[in-house]
Structure 1
C-alpha cells in the first residue's frame, strides 16, 4: 500500500495539489516524516493502524497514520544526520468540542533505526499550526531529529509511537501492527565527523538522548519536554493545571547554568497588568546521584500586559552546583508566582525527569545539603522520574459529557500563571 513520492533535483518534495489531502489530517495521528534536501533517500509513505489514548474522560480512537520519513541516501560512519518526519495523515481530526488556536499543537515521537545500527531517535516538531476549528482537519508540524551513524551497512528508519500535545493535554498514539521502514541510509566507512542535513537550512532538533556526558566535551544539554500536573494554592482558592516544561543546561566549569522553559502561554490576561508586577520562580528537584533542589527565577514582566493578551512565563534561570558524582536527574518542582503583593504556589502532583547530567562533586554543592552558587540556592529534597509527555485531544464525537471534559482541561491551563492575577477581578468569573 506504500507509494513513492517524486523528489525534485534539489531534493525538495513535489507538492501534490489535492484538496482532499488537507481534510484527512487529524489530531491523534502524528506519524509522518517530511522530505529532505539534495542527496536524500527516496522516502516512501508508510501507513499503519494506530491506537490513540487522549486525556482522561475522552474515549480512545483507532485510526490510520500515514508518514513519510526523509534522510540522506548515503553517509559515512561518524556522520550525524538529520532526519525529518512528515505527517501526511494523522489518525483523528479535531473533535467537535473546542477550537484550537494557532500555534497550540505540538507533535513528538520516536523513530526506530534498525539494520546495521539500532537506535531510538527522539523526534519533535515546533508548536506551529494554523487555527483549527472544531471538527476541522488536524495540521501537525514536521518533526525533526538527529542520528549519529556508528556502523557500516544499511540503516532503516521506521516511525513508531508518537504524542500530540494540544492546549497542554496529551494524546499518546501507538502502532497496533508492524510498521514498514520509510527510508534507508547506506552507511560506508570513512570516519566522518560532520552533520549531513536533510534540509537546506538546519533548524533546532532534539537530541537523541537527554543524558549529558561530562567526558565528551559537550557543553550544552537539551532536556526533554515533560507534562507536569500542578496543584495550585491561589488567592482565590485551590486550582489545578498541567503545563509542558523543559529544563536545559550549559556547563560552566564544574557547575551548570540552568534554563527552565514553559513551552506555552498558560492564559490570556483577564485585566490590564502593569509592568514589573509578575515574578515567577521554581525549585528544580535533583535526583539520581545528587539530592536537593536548585532555585531558578525569571524576570518580572518587562511591559504592561493588556486585557486579552497572552501571559507567558519567561525563562527561569539559575546555577546548579553538583554535590555528588554520577548521573544526576533534574525535574520540575514547586512553581511560585508573585503578583501585586499576592503569591500563588503550584506544587506538582507528580514530576518527571527532564534532563540527566553526568556530574562531579563541587565544594559547597547540593547532595542533600544547602549551598549557594551564583545567587542560586540548593537544598535537600527528593525526586521522582517518569516518561516523556506531549500529546493532544482525540476525536470522540460531540457529546455534552465530552464537551465538559474538554472544556475542563482547557480551562485548567488558565490557572498556572494566572492564579495570582485572578485578584484583579474579585467577584467576577474569568475565562
Structure 2
C-alpha cells in the first residue's frame, strides 16, 4: 500500500495534527442480526499547515477512538482488521479524499475497544485558499473467520479536522485536477450485505406430517424405499442467540442385506450466503431419530461444499448419507433429527420442535444393531455408522446424547460486530428456492 512518510512538494510547511470527535452510527453486517451501534468517533487528522497549488500532500487519519467495541462473541486475531474511509474537502477545493489503512492490528479480545490502523491518502492541491479536511464515513473490514464489513457514518455535523493554507505557485495557479487522492490497490473486503439476510423470525410452522412415513421395507424383494417429505420446524442455537427455521426434509433408504443405506435430502435452502464462502468450508451431519420397534439414532453426514459460494447465493445442504443397522424386529420409523454444520471453526445446532416420521421400514434385528443403545449418536453402541460425506478436513460433529442431539447448524462463521458471518435463517415467505 502507498502511504508512510509524508510526500510534500514545494514550500509545504511541517504537518499539523488536530483532533475532532463526532457522534457515529455503525451498522454491523446485516447477516449478524445485531442492532446498529451508537458511539463517538475521535479522529486526529494530520496534514501540512501550508502548501502550494500543484503540490501533492500526504494526509493521515489516526483513530484515537472507534465508535464501537468488538462484541462479546469472538476474539479477533492479529492483522485481521482493515479500515477504509472518506475525508471531505471543503473551502477552496471541494471533493472527497479516499483513505485506507493497512491490515495491521494487535489481537482484540471480546468486549474491548477496536484497534484500527492509521489511514492515509494523497491530496493534490488545485486552487489557492484554505482547504478544510473533515472526517466522514468509514468502513471496518474483518478478514477472519470470513470477510465482512461494518459501516460507520456521522449522525451529526462534523467539525473540520484540520485546514491547509494553499498558496499560489510560482508559475501562477496550478492546473486542474481531481481533489481526490486515494490509494490504489486497497480493498474493503467482501460485502457483508446479502439479499436474503434476515433474522429469521419465522419458523414455528406446523410440521405437516402424519404419524406414518413412506414405504415400508419387508421381505417382498423391494430394495429402494422413498420416504415422505415432511416440514420440520427447528429451534436453533447460534453464536448470536436463538433462531428458528423450517425446512422440508425427506429420508430415503436402500436395503443391503439386513442393513439400510440412508439418504437424507433437504428440499429447500433456508439460508443465503452472507459473504463469499471458499470451497471445502462447510460440513453438515445429522442424527436421524429411530422410533417404533427400534430406538436410538443413526449418524449421517454430507460432503463439504465442492464449489465456492458467492455472497447472496442460496446455501443448500447436500444429501446426507449413512448406514442404518436395525436393532429390533418389527416396524421401525425414521424421523429427521438434528443436523450439525461445522464451518470455519464454529458450530450451530438446531433441534426439531417436532419429529415427524418420514419413513417406516420392516426391520430384522442385526448383530450390534441400534435398539436399546444408550443414545450415543451412532444408533446405540456403534451399530449404525456413517458411510457418506467425504472429508473436507473439518472435525467430526456427532451428537453427545439423544437429549442433546446435534443439529441443523447454519453457521458460516461466528458473528461479530466488525467481522465474521453467520448464515441467515430466512423467513418462510422468502424461501423461494426451487426444489432440486
How does the TM-score come out when normalised to structure 1? 0.42
Please identify the structure whose Cα radius of gyration is greater: 2
How does the TM-score come out when normalised to structure 2? 0.41
